[in-house]
Structure 1
Amino acid sequence: MDWLDYTAPTLSENLALDEALLEAVHTERLGPILRIWEWPRYAVVLGANGSIAIDVNRERCESEGIEIKRRSSGGGTVLLGPGCLLYSVILPFSLAAELRDVTRSYRWILQRMAQAVQPEDAPPVNLDGISDLTLEVQKFSGNAQQRKANGVLHHGTLLIDFDLSAISRLLAMPERQPDYRADRPHAEFVRNLAASREQVIARLRAVWQADSPFPMDAIPWQRVAELRTERYDDPQWINRR
Protein backbone atom coordinates (compact mmCIF):
# COMPACT_ATOMS: atom_id res chain seq x y z
CA MET A 1 0.00 0.00 0.00
CA ASP A 2 1.14 3.55 -0.75
CA TRP A 3 1.11 6.21 1.97
CA LEU A 4 0.58 9.94 1.51
CA ASP A 5 1.21 12.45 4.32
CA TYR A 6 -0.03 15.61 2.64
CA THR A 7 -2.22 18.56 3.60
CA ALA A 8 -3.34 20.69 0.66
CA PRO A 9 -3.42 24.50 0.97
CA THR A 10 -7.23 24.81 1.15
CA LEU A 11 -9.85 22.80 2.99
CA SER A 12 -11.91 22.28 -0.17
CA GLU A 13 -8.83 20.92 -1.94
CA ASN A 14 -8.28 18.39 0.85
CA LEU A 15 -11.87 17.17 0.58
CA ALA A 16 -11.66 17.04 -3.21
CA LEU A 17 -8.39 15.11 -3.05
CA ASP A 18 -9.99 12.26 -1.11
CA GLU A 19 -12.76 11.94 -3.69
CA ALA A 20 -10.36 12.20 -6.64
CA LEU A 21 -8.23 9.41 -5.18
CA LEU A 22 -11.35 7.27 -4.74
CA GLU A 23 -12.25 7.77 -8.39
CA ALA A 24 -8.73 6.78 -9.44
CA VAL A 25 -8.81 3.61 -7.31
CA HIS A 26 -12.31 2.79 -8.59
CA THR A 27 -11.07 2.94 -12.19
CA GLU A 28 -7.92 0.96 -11.29
CA ARG A 29 -5.59 3.83 -12.17
CA LEU A 30 -4.24 3.69 -8.61
CA GLY A 31 -3.85 0.99 -5.98
CA PRO A 32 -4.72 1.17 -2.26
CA ILE A 33 -3.66 4.33 -0.44
CA LEU A 34 -3.30 5.46 3.19
CA ARG A 35 -3.49 9.24 3.46
CA ILE A 36 -2.75 11.39 6.53
CA TRP A 37 -3.45 15.10 6.91
CA GLU A 38 -4.19 17.70 9.58
CA TRP A 39 -5.96 21.04 9.22
CA PRO A 40 -4.17 23.81 11.16
CA ARG A 41 -7.26 25.91 11.96
CA TYR A 42 -10.72 25.19 13.31
CA ALA A 43 -13.16 24.28 10.55
CA VAL A 44 -16.53 22.54 10.42
CA VAL A 45 -17.15 19.76 7.90
CA LEU A 46 -20.65 18.36 7.48
CA GLY A 47 -21.51 14.97 6.09
CA ALA A 48 -23.26 14.84 2.73
CA ASN A 49 -26.70 14.95 4.40
CA GLY A 50 -25.80 17.01 7.45
CA SER A 51 -27.76 20.12 8.42
CA ILE A 52 -26.04 23.41 9.12
CA ALA A 53 -29.11 24.70 10.96
CA ILE A 54 -29.27 21.65 13.23
CA ASP A 55 -25.63 20.59 13.66
CA VAL A 56 -23.69 23.86 13.68
CA ASN A 57 -23.59 26.97 15.86
CA ARG A 58 -23.43 29.06 12.70
CA GLU A 59 -23.56 32.45 14.37
CA ARG A 60 -20.59 31.59 16.57
CA CYS A 61 -18.67 30.11 13.64
CA GLU A 62 -19.23 33.23 11.55
CA SER A 63 -18.20 35.53 14.40
CA GLU A 64 -14.96 33.55 14.84
CA GLY A 65 -14.28 33.22 11.11
CA ILE A 66 -14.67 29.44 11.18
CA GLU A 67 -14.91 27.89 7.71
CA ILE A 68 -17.86 25.56 7.02
CA LYS A 69 -17.61 22.91 4.29
CA ARG A 70 -19.48 19.77 3.27
CA ARG A 71 -17.91 16.46 2.26
CA SER A 72 -19.34 13.84 -0.10
CA SER A 73 -19.29 10.94 2.37
CA GLY A 74 -21.99 10.20 4.93
CA GLY A 75 -21.63 10.44 8.68
CA GLY A 76 -21.97 13.30 11.11
CA THR A 77 -20.61 16.82 11.38
CA VAL A 78 -17.04 17.15 12.65
CA LEU A 79 -14.82 19.94 13.91
CA LEU A 80 -11.28 19.91 12.55
CA GLY A 81 -8.29 21.78 13.93
CA PRO A 82 -4.91 21.44 15.62
CA GLY A 83 -4.60 18.10 17.38
CA CYS A 84 -7.21 16.37 15.20
CA LEU A 85 -5.39 13.99 12.88
CA LEU A 86 -7.26 12.97 9.74
CA TYR A 87 -6.76 9.72 7.90
CA SER A 88 -8.17 8.16 4.73
CA VAL A 89 -7.85 4.66 3.36
CA ILE A 90 -8.86 4.31 -0.27
CA LEU A 91 -9.27 0.63 -1.02
CA PRO A 92 -10.28 -1.46 -4.04
CA PHE A 93 -12.84 -4.15 -3.31
CA SER A 94 -10.38 -6.69 -4.70
CA LEU A 95 -8.30 -6.20 -1.54
CA ALA A 96 -10.80 -8.03 0.70
CA ALA A 97 -14.27 -9.52 0.26
CA GLU A 98 -15.50 -7.70 3.38
CA LEU A 99 -15.11 -4.33 1.67
CA ARG A 100 -18.08 -4.93 -0.64
CA ASP A 101 -20.57 -4.79 2.25
CA VAL A 102 -21.04 -1.54 4.17
CA THR A 103 -21.37 -3.02 7.67
CA ARG A 104 -18.67 -5.63 7.20
CA SER A 105 -16.31 -3.07 5.67
CA TYR A 106 -16.63 -0.73 8.65
CA ARG A 107 -15.79 -3.57 11.00
CA TRP A 108 -12.92 -4.84 8.83
CA ILE A 109 -11.32 -1.40 8.58
CA LEU A 110 -11.99 -0.24 12.14
CA GLN A 111 -10.61 -3.43 13.66
CA ARG A 112 -7.32 -2.55 11.98
CA MET A 113 -7.58 1.05 13.11
CA ALA A 114 -8.24 -0.05 16.69
CA GLN A 115 -5.18 -2.27 16.57
CA ALA A 116 -3.09 0.62 15.25
CA VAL A 117 -4.09 3.17 17.90
CA GLN A 118 -4.40 0.90 20.95
CA PRO A 119 -2.47 2.64 23.77
CA GLU A 120 -0.15 0.57 25.93
CA ASP A 121 -1.34 -0.18 29.46
CA ALA A 122 -4.84 1.12 28.67
CA PRO A 123 -8.31 -0.39 28.35
CA PRO A 124 -9.09 -1.81 24.91
CA VAL A 125 -10.14 0.43 22.06
CA ASN A 126 -13.70 -0.52 21.09
CA LEU A 127 -15.92 -0.10 18.04
CA ASP A 128 -19.16 1.53 19.21
CA GLY A 129 -22.17 2.55 17.18
CA ILE A 130 -21.71 2.03 13.46
CA SER A 131 -18.45 3.86 12.97
CA ASP A 132 -16.92 5.22 16.20
CA LEU A 133 -13.76 4.19 18.01
CA THR A 134 -13.90 4.66 21.78
CA LEU A 135 -11.90 4.28 24.97
CA GLU A 136 -14.02 3.62 28.06
CA VAL A 137 -17.14 4.59 26.10
CA GLN A 138 -15.72 7.98 25.12
CA LYS A 139 -15.32 8.70 21.42
CA PHE A 140 -11.98 9.74 19.93
CA SER A 141 -12.57 8.74 16.30
CA GLY A 142 -15.53 9.23 13.98
CA ASN A 143 -15.59 7.67 10.53
CA ALA A 144 -17.51 7.83 7.26
CA GLN A 145 -17.46 6.25 3.82
CA GLN A 146 -18.04 7.11 0.19
CA ARG A 147 -18.43 4.11 -2.09
CA LYS A 148 -18.06 3.38 -5.80
CA ALA A 149 -18.72 0.18 -7.73
CA ASN A 150 -15.13 -1.02 -7.33
CA GLY A 151 -13.81 0.64 -4.20
CA VAL A 152 -14.37 2.58 -1.00
CA LEU A 153 -13.08 5.77 0.57
CA HIS A 154 -13.09 5.35 4.34
CA HIS A 155 -11.94 8.41 6.24
CA GLY A 156 -12.03 9.54 9.82
CA THR A 157 -10.81 11.77 12.61
CA LEU A 158 -8.40 10.88 15.40
CA LEU A 159 -8.43 13.25 18.38
CA ILE A 160 -4.92 13.16 19.81
CA ASP A 161 -4.36 16.61 21.34
CA PHE A 162 -7.50 18.58 20.54
CA ASP A 163 -9.12 21.39 22.53
CA LEU A 164 -12.31 19.49 23.29
CA SER A 165 -14.07 22.59 24.62
CA ALA A 166 -14.15 23.99 21.07
CA ILE A 167 -16.59 21.25 20.04
CA SER A 168 -19.27 22.41 22.48
CA ARG A 169 -18.70 26.01 21.45
CA LEU A 170 -18.99 25.50 17.68
CA LEU A 171 -21.21 22.43 17.23
CA ALA A 172 -24.74 21.76 18.45
CA MET A 173 -25.91 18.39 19.69
CA PRO A 174 -26.20 16.15 16.61
CA GLU A 175 -29.50 15.41 14.94
CA ARG A 176 -28.87 11.67 15.19
CA GLN A 177 -26.97 9.96 18.00
CA PRO A 178 -25.75 6.41 18.53
CA ASP A 179 -27.44 4.65 21.42
CA TYR A 180 -24.22 4.40 23.42
CA ARG A 181 -23.98 8.21 23.58
CA ALA A 182 -26.99 8.25 25.92
CA ASP A 183 -27.59 11.98 25.36
CA ARG A 184 -24.23 12.94 26.85
CA PRO A 185 -23.04 16.47 25.96
CA HIS A 186 -19.90 16.82 23.87
CA ALA A 187 -17.72 17.47 26.91
CA GLU A 188 -18.65 14.10 28.44
CA PHE A 189 -18.79 12.14 25.18
CA VAL A 190 -15.42 12.83 23.52
CA ARG A 191 -11.81 12.44 24.61
CA ASN A 192 -8.28 12.60 23.26
CA LEU A 193 -6.15 9.60 22.47
CA ALA A 194 -2.93 9.81 24.48
CA ALA A 195 -0.44 9.48 21.63
CA SER A 196 1.73 11.72 19.49
CA ARG A 197 1.20 12.36 15.80
CA GLU A 198 4.41 10.51 15.00
CA GLN A 199 3.40 7.47 17.05
CA VAL A 200 -0.03 7.25 15.44
CA ILE A 201 1.30 7.59 11.90
CA ALA A 202 3.97 4.95 12.48
CA ARG A 203 1.38 2.52 13.84
CA LEU A 204 -1.05 3.20 11.00
CA ARG A 205 1.63 2.57 8.42
CA ALA A 206 2.64 -0.66 10.15
CA VAL A 207 -0.89 -2.06 10.42
CA TRP A 208 -1.80 -1.12 6.85
CA GLN A 209 1.62 -2.20 5.55
CA ALA A 210 1.91 1.18 3.87
CA ASP A 211 5.56 0.99 2.90
CA SER A 212 5.71 2.91 -0.38
CA PRO A 213 5.59 6.73 -0.52
CA PHE A 214 2.83 7.89 -2.84
CA PRO A 215 4.31 9.87 -5.76
CA MET A 216 2.99 13.42 -5.77
CA ASP A 217 2.95 13.49 -9.57
CA ALA A 218 0.39 10.66 -9.47
CA ILE A 219 -2.20 12.87 -7.76
CA PRO A 220 -5.04 13.63 -10.23
CA TRP A 221 -4.69 17.39 -9.82
CA GLN A 222 -7.02 18.28 -12.68
CA ARG A 223 -9.82 16.21 -11.17
CA VAL A 224 -9.17 17.78 -7.77
CA ALA A 225 -9.64 21.22 -9.33
CA GLU A 226 -12.82 20.11 -11.10
CA LEU A 227 -14.32 18.70 -7.90
CA ARG A 228 -13.58 21.91 -6.03
CA THR A 229 -15.54 23.88 -8.62
CA GLU A 230 -18.35 21.34 -8.98
CA ARG A 231 -18.84 20.68 -5.30
CA TYR A 232 -16.55 21.71 -2.49
CA ASP A 233 -16.36 25.46 -3.20
CA ASP A 234 -19.97 25.67 -4.42
CA PRO A 235 -22.17 27.59 -1.92
CA GLN A 236 -25.24 25.69 -3.12
CA TRP A 237 -23.57 22.37 -2.24
CA ILE A 238 -22.31 23.60 1.12
CA ASN A 239 -25.59 25.25 2.18
CA ARG A 240 -28.00 22.77 0.64
CA ARG A 241 -29.28 21.69 4.05
Structure 2
Amino acid sequence: MSEQKPVRHILSLSGGKDSTALAIYMRDRVENMEYIFHDTGKELPDTLDYIEKLEAYLGQRVVRTTTRESFDDVLRTKGGMLPSGKRRWCTELLKLKPFEMYIGDEPCVNYVGIRADEDRVGYISHKPNIKPVFPFRDDGIDYAGVVRILEDAGLGLPPYTEWGRTRSGCFFCFYQQKIEWVRLKQHHPELFEEAKAYEKPNRVNGKVFNWTDESLETIEAPERMAQIEDNWERAKERRRARQHKRPLVAVLGGLEIEESPRDGCMICQL
Protein backbone atom coordinates (compact mmCIF):
# COMPACT_ATOMS: atom_id res chain seq x y z
CA MET A 1 0.00 0.00 0.00
CA SER A 2 1.41 3.39 -1.03
CA GLU A 3 2.10 6.03 1.58
CA GLN A 4 -0.20 9.03 1.69
CA LYS A 5 1.66 12.17 0.68
CA PRO A 6 1.75 15.03 3.22
CA VAL A 7 -0.41 18.04 2.44
CA ARG A 8 1.49 21.11 1.26
CA HIS A 9 0.37 24.60 2.29
CA ILE A 10 1.02 27.19 -0.41
CA LEU A 11 0.29 30.91 -0.59
CA SER A 12 0.75 32.40 -4.04
CA LEU A 13 1.79 36.07 -4.05
CA SER A 14 1.11 38.65 -6.74
CA GLY A 15 2.89 41.62 -5.18
CA GLY A 16 -0.49 43.19 -4.47
CA LYS A 17 -1.84 44.29 -1.12
CA ASP A 18 -4.27 41.42 -0.51
CA SER A 19 -1.91 38.46 -0.99
CA THR A 20 0.84 40.34 0.86
CA ALA A 21 -1.47 41.03 3.80
CA LEU A 22 -2.57 37.40 3.76
CA ALA A 23 1.07 36.25 3.93
CA ILE A 24 1.55 38.46 6.99
CA TYR A 25 -1.73 37.29 8.51
CA MET A 26 -0.90 33.61 8.05
CA ARG A 27 2.66 33.82 9.37
CA ASP A 28 3.00 31.56 12.42
CA ARG A 29 -0.54 30.22 11.88
CA VAL A 30 0.41 27.40 9.52
CA GLU A 31 3.55 25.30 9.78
CA ASN A 32 5.73 24.86 6.70
CA MET A 33 3.86 27.44 4.65
CA GLU A 34 5.38 27.89 1.20
CA TYR A 35 5.26 31.36 -0.33
CA ILE A 36 5.60 31.56 -4.11
CA PHE A 37 5.67 34.34 -6.68
CA HIS A 38 5.13 33.78 -10.41
CA ASP A 39 7.64 36.11 -12.07
CA THR A 40 6.80 36.70 -15.73
CA GLY A 41 9.92 38.78 -16.29
CA LYS A 42 7.63 41.74 -17.02
CA GLU A 43 6.88 42.82 -13.46
CA LEU A 44 7.16 46.37 -12.21
CA PRO A 45 10.38 47.07 -10.30
CA ASP A 46 8.11 48.40 -7.54
CA THR A 47 6.49 44.97 -7.24
CA LEU A 48 9.82 43.15 -6.97
CA ASP A 49 10.97 45.58 -4.27
CA TYR A 50 7.75 44.96 -2.34
CA ILE A 51 8.26 41.18 -2.48
CA GLU A 52 11.78 41.63 -1.08
CA LYS A 53 10.43 43.69 1.82
CA LEU A 54 7.90 40.96 2.55
CA GLU A 55 10.67 38.36 2.58
CA ALA A 56 12.50 40.39 5.21
CA TYR A 57 9.35 40.55 7.34
CA LEU A 58 8.57 36.86 7.00
CA GLY A 59 12.17 35.83 7.54
CA GLN A 60 11.63 33.40 4.72
CA ARG A 61 12.41 33.29 1.03
CA VAL A 62 9.58 33.66 -1.45
CA VAL A 63 10.13 31.06 -4.17
CA ARG A 64 10.15 32.49 -7.70
CA THR A 65 8.41 30.18 -10.12
CA THR A 66 8.52 30.52 -13.86
CA THR A 67 8.33 28.47 -17.03
CA ARG A 68 11.00 27.93 -19.62
CA GLU A 69 8.94 30.00 -22.05
CA SER A 70 9.12 33.75 -21.55
CA PHE A 71 6.37 36.22 -22.43
CA ASP A 72 8.13 36.93 -25.71
CA ASP A 73 8.42 33.21 -26.48
CA VAL A 74 4.69 32.69 -26.01
CA LEU A 75 3.89 35.87 -27.94
CA ARG A 76 5.75 34.46 -30.94
CA THR A 77 3.69 31.27 -30.82
CA LYS A 78 0.58 33.46 -30.77
CA GLY A 79 1.68 35.26 -33.92
CA GLY A 80 2.08 38.56 -32.13
CA MET A 81 -1.49 38.52 -30.80
CA LEU A 82 -1.27 40.45 -27.53
CA PRO A 83 -3.25 39.18 -24.55
CA SER A 84 -6.49 40.95 -23.69
CA GLY A 85 -9.57 40.54 -21.53
CA LYS A 86 -10.87 38.00 -24.06
CA ARG A 87 -7.47 36.39 -24.67
CA ARG A 88 -5.91 35.99 -21.23
CA TRP A 89 -3.20 33.59 -22.33
CA CYS A 90 -0.62 35.44 -20.24
CA THR A 91 -2.38 34.48 -17.01
CA GLU A 92 -3.01 30.92 -18.13
CA LEU A 93 0.52 30.20 -19.41
CA LEU A 94 2.74 32.45 -17.30
CA LYS A 95 0.93 32.40 -13.95
CA LEU A 96 -1.41 29.42 -13.62
CA LYS A 97 0.78 26.92 -15.49
CA PRO A 98 3.91 27.46 -13.35
CA PHE A 99 1.72 27.41 -10.24
CA GLU A 100 0.33 23.98 -11.12
CA MET A 101 3.75 22.71 -12.24
CA TYR A 102 5.25 23.77 -8.90
CA ILE A 103 2.60 21.84 -6.98
CA GLY A 104 2.48 18.82 -9.26
CA ASP A 105 0.13 16.06 -8.10
CA GLU A 106 0.77 16.46 -4.38
CA PRO A 107 -2.18 17.35 -2.15
CA CYS A 108 -2.16 21.08 -1.50
CA VAL A 109 -4.08 23.74 0.40
CA ASN A 110 -3.88 26.99 -1.58
CA TYR A 111 -4.43 30.18 0.46
CA VAL A 112 -6.23 32.87 -1.56
CA GLY A 113 -6.49 36.53 -0.52
CA ILE A 114 -10.10 37.29 -1.41
CA ARG A 115 -11.47 39.72 1.20
CA ALA A 116 -14.78 39.53 3.03
CA ASP A 117 -16.04 42.61 1.14
CA GLU A 118 -15.30 41.17 -2.31
CA ASP A 119 -17.13 38.97 -4.77
CA ARG A 120 -14.50 38.11 -7.33
CA VAL A 121 -13.96 35.53 -10.02
CA GLY A 122 -10.86 34.62 -11.98
CA TYR A 123 -8.27 31.96 -12.59
CA ILE A 124 -8.14 29.43 -9.76
CA SER A 125 -6.83 25.94 -10.38
CA HIS A 126 -9.46 23.22 -10.63
CA LYS A 127 -7.02 20.33 -10.21
CA PRO A 128 -8.52 17.89 -7.70
CA ASN A 129 -5.38 17.83 -5.54
CA ILE A 130 -5.53 21.62 -4.95
CA LYS A 131 -7.99 22.90 -2.35
CA PRO A 132 -8.44 26.70 -2.24
CA VAL A 133 -9.20 28.33 1.11
CA PHE A 134 -10.11 31.96 1.84
CA PRO A 135 -8.98 33.06 5.33
CA PHE A 136 -9.94 36.73 4.92
CA ARG A 137 -13.43 35.85 3.79
CA ASP A 138 -13.80 33.27 6.57
CA ASP A 139 -12.53 35.68 9.25
CA GLY A 140 -14.46 38.73 8.04
CA ILE A 141 -11.41 40.80 7.05
CA ASP A 142 -12.26 43.59 4.61
CA TYR A 143 -10.29 46.32 2.82
CA ALA A 144 -9.75 48.36 5.99
CA GLY A 145 -8.54 45.24 7.75
CA VAL A 146 -6.03 44.52 4.99
CA VAL A 147 -4.66 48.07 5.23
CA ARG A 148 -4.30 47.73 9.01
CA ILE A 149 -2.38 44.46 8.62
CA LEU A 150 0.04 46.07 6.15
CA GLU A 151 0.52 49.19 8.27
CA ASP A 152 1.03 47.25 11.50
CA ALA A 153 3.70 45.14 9.78
CA GLY A 154 5.51 48.27 8.59
CA LEU A 155 5.11 47.48 4.88
CA GLY A 156 2.21 49.75 4.01
CA LEU A 157 0.53 49.63 0.62
CA PRO A 158 2.58 48.58 -2.44
CA PRO A 159 4.89 51.39 -3.61
CA TYR A 160 3.28 51.62 -7.05
CA THR A 161 0.09 52.90 -5.42
CA GLU A 162 1.97 56.10 -4.57
CA TRP A 163 2.04 57.07 -8.24
CA GLY A 164 -1.49 55.99 -9.05
CA ARG A 165 -1.32 52.35 -10.15
CA THR A 166 -4.01 50.15 -8.66
CA ARG A 167 -2.81 46.67 -9.59
CA SER A 168 0.20 44.42 -9.48
CA GLY A 169 1.04 42.19 -12.40
CA CYS A 170 2.88 42.97 -15.61
CA PHE A 171 3.69 46.62 -16.32
CA PHE A 172 1.72 46.38 -19.57
CA CYS A 173 -1.36 44.73 -18.05
CA PHE A 174 -4.28 45.26 -20.42
CA TYR A 175 -6.62 45.78 -17.46
CA GLN A 176 -4.96 49.10 -16.65
CA GLN A 177 -7.08 52.21 -16.73
CA LYS A 178 -6.06 54.98 -19.13
CA ILE A 179 -4.80 57.07 -16.22
CA GLU A 180 -2.52 54.19 -15.23
CA TRP A 181 -0.96 54.17 -18.69
CA VAL A 182 -0.38 57.91 -18.30
CA ARG A 183 1.23 57.37 -14.89
CA LEU A 184 3.41 54.59 -16.31
CA LYS A 185 4.59 57.01 -19.00
CA GLN A 186 5.40 59.60 -16.34
CA HIS A 187 7.07 57.35 -13.76
CA HIS A 188 8.55 54.53 -15.84
CA PRO A 189 8.94 55.96 -19.36
CA GLU A 190 11.31 53.14 -20.35
CA LEU A 191 8.64 50.55 -19.54
CA PHE A 192 6.02 52.54 -21.43
CA GLU A 193 8.33 52.50 -24.46
CA GLU A 194 8.80 48.76 -24.09
CA ALA A 195 5.03 48.25 -23.95
CA LYS A 196 4.55 50.50 -26.97
CA ALA A 197 7.07 48.48 -28.98
CA TYR A 198 4.74 45.48 -28.80
CA GLU A 199 2.06 47.37 -30.73
CA LYS A 200 3.30 46.46 -34.20
CA PRO A 201 1.97 44.48 -37.20
CA ASN A 202 1.95 40.76 -36.42
CA ARG A 203 3.60 38.27 -38.75
CA VAL A 204 0.41 36.31 -39.53
CA ASN A 205 -1.82 38.90 -41.17
CA GLY A 206 -0.17 42.25 -40.48
CA LYS A 207 -2.85 43.27 -37.99
CA VAL A 208 -1.74 45.56 -35.16
CA PHE A 209 -2.83 44.52 -31.66
CA ASN A 210 -3.02 47.25 -29.02
CA TRP A 211 -3.03 46.96 -25.24
CA THR A 212 -6.16 49.07 -25.00
CA ASP A 213 -8.83 50.43 -27.33
CA GLU A 214 -6.40 53.07 -28.57
CA SER A 215 -2.70 52.86 -29.28
CA LEU A 216 -0.13 53.89 -26.70
CA GLU A 217 1.25 56.29 -29.29
CA THR A 218 -2.13 58.03 -29.21
CA ILE A 219 -2.31 57.97 -25.41
CA GLU A 220 1.14 59.55 -24.98
CA ALA A 221 0.30 62.59 -27.12
CA PRO A 222 0.44 65.60 -24.73
CA GLU A 223 -3.10 66.73 -25.48
CA ARG A 224 -4.48 63.21 -24.97
CA MET A 225 -2.58 62.74 -21.72
CA ALA A 226 -3.94 66.06 -20.47
CA GLN A 227 -7.46 64.98 -21.42
CA ILE A 228 -7.11 61.65 -19.59
CA GLU A 229 -5.79 63.40 -16.49
CA ASP A 230 -8.62 65.93 -16.60
CA ASN A 231 -11.22 63.14 -16.90
CA TRP A 232 -9.57 61.38 -13.96
CA GLU A 233 -9.69 64.50 -11.78
CA ARG A 234 -13.37 64.97 -12.61
CA ALA A 235 -14.06 61.37 -11.62
CA LYS A 236 -12.21 61.95 -8.32
CA GLU A 237 -14.40 64.96 -7.61
CA ARG A 238 -17.50 62.87 -8.19
CA ARG A 239 -16.18 60.28 -5.73
CA ARG A 240 -15.48 62.98 -3.15
CA ALA A 241 -19.06 64.17 -3.53
CA ARG A 242 -20.18 60.70 -2.46
CA GLN A 243 -17.96 60.62 0.64
CA HIS A 244 -20.90 60.81 3.00
CA LYS A 245 -21.79 57.30 1.88
CA ARG A 246 -18.37 55.89 2.76
CA PRO A 247 -17.81 53.72 5.87
CA LEU A 248 -16.87 55.62 9.02
CA VAL A 249 -13.47 53.87 9.17
CA ALA A 250 -12.67 55.22 5.71
CA VAL A 251 -13.61 58.79 6.62
CA LEU A 252 -11.63 58.74 9.86
CA GLY A 253 -8.64 56.89 8.45
CA GLY A 254 -8.52 58.52 5.04
CA LEU A 255 -8.72 55.15 3.28
CA GLU A 256 -9.52 54.91 -0.41
CA ILE A 257 -12.18 52.23 -0.34
CA GLU A 258 -12.55 50.24 -3.55
CA GLU A 259 -16.03 51.05 -4.69
CA SER A 260 -16.59 48.23 -7.15
CA PRO A 261 -15.20 44.80 -8.01
CA ARG A 262 -11.92 45.04 -9.90
CA ASP A 263 -11.44 43.56 -13.31
CA GLY A 264 -8.57 41.19 -13.76
CA CYS A 265 -7.22 37.80 -12.83
CA MET A 266 -6.98 36.79 -9.20
CA ILE A 267 -3.68 34.98 -9.49
CA CYS A 268 -2.12 38.16 -10.96
CA GLN A 269 -3.59 40.76 -8.65
CA LEU A 270 -4.54 39.44 -5.23
TM-score normalised by the chain length of structure 1? 0.30
Q: Which has a greater percent of helix?
A: 2
TM-score normalized with structure 2 length: 0.28
Greater strand fraction, Structure 1 or Structure 2: 1
